[in-house]
Amino acid sequence: MALPFTEQQRGDIRRRLYESACRHAVSVGLAKTSLDALTADAGISKSSFYKFFESKERLFLEVAHGFEQDILAAAARTLQESAGRSDKERAAAFVYAAFERVHQLGVARFMREDIPLLRSLVSEDDASAHCLSSAQGIFDALRSAHIRFTAPDETVLSVIQIMYLSIMHMGELGERFFPALHTLVDSACARLVA
């Protein structure tokens, strides 16, 4: 009879599963990641996986949430560093920092292919609770920073969504992507931020 995991072992295994899922999310994605690969990385049996996560999708839901929190935290640091500048400049720096962090993490493909798949595999409540929309997260963070908009919220959110969607295709533009994105962000903030 197998001995139960200690609390420390449980924490270590859960962390290893999460880290493995992060690596697989970036390299091959949700659909191509097997439970065998995740459990091998964590050093547990396939049947033990379910003692830690309800499903592979629930694990990847946590990964998506972790990526989003990382992206928003990087952008929030930019807001703090830009204190004293105009709201237009602060908003532009925030949005640009969020998209730069997506690039640094290497999660554009995951966002383009796996987030929609994940949304279809989990309940709407789970998807909403885990904020599987970085555009909404960016908008909410700007609102929380008391950035005032000159357009209706729906318009601002739509513009952020368009920019968010563009980053998912950065590979197609290569090195031209970030200068073009910078121009879009600056132009949008000039028009939409008070």
Residue 44: DSSP 8-state: -
Among 58-62, 116-120, 178-182, the range scoring the smallest mean pLDDT is 116-120
What is the residue extent of each domain of the chain?
A: 1-53, 57-192
Helix (H, G, I), strand (E, B) or coil at 66: helix
In the numeric block, the tokens 């357009």 are attached to 151
pLDDT of the residue at 2: 60
Is the pLDDT higher at 128 or at 167? Answer: 167
Confidence class of residue 129 from pLDDT cuts 50, 70 and 90? low
- Are 12 and 44 spatial neighbours (Cβ–Cβ below 8 Å)? no
pLDDT of the residue at 131: 58
pLDDT of the residue at 92: 95
Long-range contacts of 103-106 (CB under 8 A, 24+ apart): 103/167, 103/170, 103/178, 104/74, 105/26, 105/67, 105/70, 105/71, 106/26
Counting residues of the chain whose pLDDT is more than 70, the rounded percentage is 95
pLDDT digits (tens, 9 = 90+) for 166-179: 877 777 888 899 99
Residue 149: DSSP 8-state: B
Specify whether the backbone of 67 is left (phi greater than 0), alpha (psi in -120 to 50) or beta.
Answer: alpha
pLDDT of the residue at 39: 96
Residue 53: DSSP 8-state: -
pLDDT digits (tens, 9 = 90+) for 30-82: 999 999 999 999 999 999 999 999 999 999 999 999 998 999 999 999 988 98
Given a cut of 70, is residue 189 above it in pLDDT?
yes
**Looking at domain 1-53, which CATH architecture does it have?**
Orthogonal Bundle (1.10)
pTM for the predicted model, two decimal places = 0.86
Please calculate the CA angle 104-105-110 and round it to the nearest 5 degrees: 130
User: What average pLDDT score do residues 166-193 get?
Assistant: 89
pLDDT of the residue at 180: 92
